[in-house]
Amino acid sequence: MNINWYPGHMKVAFDNFKKNLKLIDIVVELIDARIPFSSKNPKIDEILENKPSVLLFNKIDLADEYTTKKWKEYYESIGKKVLLVNANQNKGLNNLRQILEDELSEKFKRDEQKLIKDKTIKMMMVGIPNVGKSTLINTLSKRTGAKVGNLPGVTRNIQWIKTPGKIELLDTPGVLWPKFENKEIGLNLAFVGSIDDDILDVENLSYELIKKLNKIDPNILKNRYNIEFDLDTDIAYIMDMIGERRGAILKKGIIDYDKVSRMILREFRLGKLGRISLEKVSDFFG
């Protein structure tokens, strides 16, 4: 199952992102803590040049804590400033202003020499679709002005948003890149909802997710759906068992695979299957 999704508005958004770099002091890139490699847009680092940046792992409540710690250590080892947050519950955000100030210390020194006293930070927020940018902005700005949705690509227009902490946010639409390096990256992005389900075969996608989860820990599905199976059990049969348990059955006892598939994907995305990281550092860097 090969996945690529790059709507025209994403190309426009990325071009605007490059143009607007001169307007801001620092870039904050959000990634999904469940897929810290796949959710990091490789094109962003290519155009940042010397612009300061901070990497925010969002949705840490949905990811395995130990695996997240290892990913944080990896990114810090290659010079990234990392902050772990849960935007929905306002966890980890109290340190954001200080981290931004630390990264901009040279700028503030230059401003002091010029007798500039204003310490407002102009920050650009970037990330892939459905990574939680709008939720984070609403939390920081303490208002409900930024539109929030579970569908990827809700934010389409660039907008400035002020916050009580003297941070001015330049919000940008979620952007992917034109071609994924490998099949796994596309699948991981689809699993967490960063690619529109409407363009996907959700039954195949759920099939692939079940395979992935069973590699991580077969007990994930066993415990959630109260079913039993062996490692060599056919994935379709596992879907049958889940469908029977949850009553996803059509007339004449036929399993409603569309309903089962969407349920498994939804419950994974909501964290109902537990705290699951789909990627380990060793998967990519030995």
Question: Does residue 174 have a known ligand-binding role?
Answer: yes
Question: Does residue 144 have a known ligand-binding role?
Answer: no
Average pLDDT of the segment spanning 64-82: 96
User: Which is more confidently placed, 217 or 92?
Assistant: 217
Average pLDDT of the segment spanning 50-77: 96
Q: What is the pLDDT of residue 44?
A: 84
* Both tokens assigned to 4: 């690529």
Question: Does residue 138 have a known ligand-binding role?
Answer: no
| pTM listed for this prediction | 0.87
Question: Does residue 19 have a known ligand-binding role?
Answer: no
Question: Does residue 68 have a known ligand-binding role?
Answer: no
What does pLDDT average to over the chain? 86
DSSP the chain: -------HHHHHHHHHHHHHGGG-SEEEEEEETTSTTTTS-HHHHHHHTT--EEEEEE-GGGS-HHHHHHHHHHHHHTT--EEE-BGGGTBSGGGHHHHHHHHTHHHHHHHHHTT-----EEEEEEESTTSSHHHHHHHHHTSS-S---SSTT---S-EEEE-TTSEEEEE------SS-SSHHHHHHHHHTT-S-GGGS-HHHHHHHHHHHHHHH-THHHHHHHT----TTS-HHHHHHHHHHHHT-B-GGG-B-HHHHHHHHHHHHHTTTT-S--S--THHHH-
Average pLDDT of the segment spanning 73-95: 92
Q: Domains along the chain?
A: 8-171 (3.40.50.300), 201-285 (1.10.1580.10)
Q: What is the pLDDT of residue 111?
A: 87
Average pLDDT of the segment spanning 132-141: 86
Question: Does residue 158 have a known ligand-binding role?
Answer: no
Confidence label for 2 from pLDDT (cuts 50, 70 and 90) = low
Residue 144 has pLDDT above 50, yes or no: no
Question: Does residue 59 have a known ligand-binding role?
Answer: yes
Region of 59 on the Ramachandran plot (φ > 0 left; ψ -120 to 50 alpha; else beta): left
Question: Does residue 131 have a known ligand-binding role?
Answer: yes
Pairing status of strand 159-162 against strand 167-171: antiparallel
Phi and psi dihedrals of 127, rounded to 5? 165, 170
- pLDDT, tens only, 96-114: 889 999 999 998 899 888 8
Question: Does residue 186 have a known ligand-binding role?
Answer: no
Burial 109-124 (b: 16+ CB within 10 A, else e): eeeeeeeeeeeebebb
- pLDDT, tens only, 210-258: 999 999 999 999 999 999 999 899 999 999 999 999 999 998 889 999 9
Question: What are the CA-CA distances from residue 166 to residues 30, 98, 163 (Å)?
Answer: 20, 12, 6
Among the residue ranges 56-65, 110-119, 134-143, 227-236, the one predicted with the least confidence is 134-143
